[in-house]
Amino acid sequence: MLILFAIFCYLALAIETAVPYFLHLRFLIPNLVVILAVDLGLRHRGAAPAVLAFAMGYAVDAFSGSALGVNAFLMTAIYLGTYEISSRLLVTNAMVGATFVFLGTIVAALGDLGLSAGAAGVQAWSAMLPTIVAQAAITALVAPIVFSILSSAKRTVGLPVAAARE
Amino acid sequence: MKGTFLWRNRVLLTASALLIISLHLLGIETKSGSYAALPALALMEVMRPVQAASARLGEGASGIVHNYFDLVGAREENAKLRAEIAQLNGERAKIAELEVENNHLSGLLELKYALGTDAVAANVIGSDATGMSHTLILGQGTASGLKPGMAVLADEGVVGRIIDASEHASRVLLIDDHNSAVDGVDQRSRARGIIAGVVDEGVIMKYVDRSEDIRKGDQIVTSGLDGIYPRGLLLGSVASVRREGPGLFLDVRVQSAVDFRSLEQVLVVTEQAPPPPPDKRG
């Protein structure tokens, strides 16, 4: 699982750092790491997925902003939130996953602003919200495709695709 | 072990511990040089080949797009002529690309001589992963003499400063990022202030006294007093000045001199400029 998510995170970061270099409309690029964090929360149980979510956030911090820990915190929080809520749901299909991704992307963006820019970031929330919601919608649209690719990859390496309920 | 409190709540406990570690990382300002930042530097190194390759791929893709548009009008011509045109257009696109690159590098070289300090040219290979902050990734690192804190310039003006540097890659905090601050001075009135990024509003000049005669169109240059940027480099021009409203300071909006989105090559000042002589106005 570790290697699989490391590869996906690597690819996600490669896309997220390289594509804005050509495509200047930044909000059109989905937050792929959020999709991975949500997948961990929806389909994997135990301490290791939490550590993985933290590590993926740390990896994002290596390529974003000027402070370490912002995305590590946010990805861990998104994982934990997804895990806690989904463990109380009866179904966790792609639609539910996309909803988590939509909310997770908004939380990640607003949290990033709040944690890295403080009060000024919080003040800018309302002005930034339309762009953030647009990016969240695009990320949610892409999420089922990523979930599907992840599921195929998990099947290939013999990992469980759906989590066993506790 | 199973059934115990720790086992039942292992996800919550682990995640809570990781959240605390994240906040600790945030609190101790780990970005450059510390043990906590080392894995981040290793990640930059691992990611660099992909970013450099995609940057080259992007340049090639834009050449293909240009070629396509050039070929639309040549549909009626025979296959041989098409092939020749395609080949010529490909070469022309390459030459045009080389000319653009040559112009960039010539500009940077002129800037390097004008600065009179040691500087290294670097390629931009990526941008910020989330887009919430304004950073760039360069394809050169400590192996080329780059270090955190060094000033990054373009021929149009100041770009930012290096915040992280691995062996072959580094990250630049742009001057329009909300965590950036540069000591600047109005070239005409000599009014001083801090050039800082605002989350969604570009760049402002902070702490400019209300009595200062600062006007729209004035050029803002570095003062050199922050110890990072050499003195007299163009930061931008005043886009608007608002004198109404409460507060001790003027509301000054600045249009940055550099279009950060179109940067391909930059110049990194590897030698710290000597401190400027004291300003007559203090």
Query: Can you give the pLDDT at residue A20?
Result: 76
Mutant choice from A36, A43, A68 vs B, greatest count of B C-beta within 10 A: A68
Contact B130, A75 (CB under 8 A): no
Q: Please provide the size of chain B in residues.
A: 282
Annotate B234-261 with b (16+ C-beta within 10 A) or e (fewer): bbbbbeebeeeeeeeebebbbebbbebe
pLDDT, tens only, B201-238: 789 999 998 888 899 999 999 988 888 888 888 999 99
| d(C-alpha B10, C-alpha B25), whole Å | 22
Query: Can you give the pLDDT at residue B80?
Result: 76
| d(C-alpha B31, C-alpha A62), whole Å | 9
pTM: 0.79
Domain residue limits, chain B: 5-59, 118-269
Contact between B15 and A50 using a beta-carbon 8 Å cutoff? yes
- So what's the ipTM on this one? 0.84
Identify the H or E element spanning B171.
Answer: strand B170-174
Query: Can you give the pLDDT at residue B31?
Result: 52
From chain A, the residues in CB contact with B12 under 8 A are 80, 84
Contact between B126 and A18 using a beta-carbon 8 Å cutoff? yes
Of the candidates B214, B223, B221, the one whose C-alpha atom is nearest the C-alpha of residue B250 is: B214
Contact between A120 and B62 using a beta-carbon 8 Å cutoff? no
| d(C-alpha A69, C-alpha B13), whole Å | 18
- Which residues partner with B236 through β-bridges? B220, B256
The alpha carbon of residue B29 is apart from the nearest alpha carbon of chain A, in Å, by: 6
Contact between B130 and A117 using a beta-carbon 8 Å cutoff? no
**Higher-confidence position of A21 and B23:** B23
Residues in chain B with pLDDT values less than 50 = 280-282
Query: Can you give the pLDDT at residue B282?
Result: 39
3-class DSSP assignment, residue A121? helix
Residue in A20, A73, A127 closest to B200 by CB? A127
Query: Can you give the pLDDT at residue B280?
Result: 47
Residues contacting residue B65 through CB under 8 Å, at least 6 positions apart? none
Query: Can you give the pLDDT at residue B101?
Result: 73
3-class DSSP assignment, residue B239? strand
Q: Mean pLDDT for chain A?
A: 88
In angstroms, what is the C-alpha Rg of chain A?
15
Q: Looking at residues A91-115, what average pLDDT do you find?
A: 91
Contact between A63 and B137 using a beta-carbon 8 Å cutoff? yes
Q: Is A65 left (phi over 0), alpha (psi -120 to 50) or beta?
A: left
Query: Strands B202-206 and B192-198, how do they pair?
Result: antiparallel
pLDDT, tens only, A130-162: 999 999 999 999 999 999 999 999 888 887 776
What number of other Cβ atoms are within 10 A of residue A23's Cβ? 11
From chain A, the residues in CB contact with B26 under 8 A are 67-70, 73, 115
Contact B11, A47 (CB under 8 A): yes
Contact between A10 and B47 using a beta-carbon 8 Å cutoff? yes
Q: Looking at residues A30-52, what average pLDDT do you find?
A: 91
The alpha carbon of residue B147 is apart from the nearest alpha carbon of chain A, in Å, by: 15
For residue B278, the 8-state DSSP code is P
Residues contacting residue B277 through CB under 8 Å, at least 6 positions apart? none
Query: Can you give the pLDDT at residue B244?
Result: 78
What number of other Cβ atoms are within 10 A of residue A31's Cβ? 30
Query: Can you give the pLDDT at residue B85?
Result: 73
- Which residues partner with B184 through β-bridges? B193, B222
CATH number of B118-269: 2.40.10.340
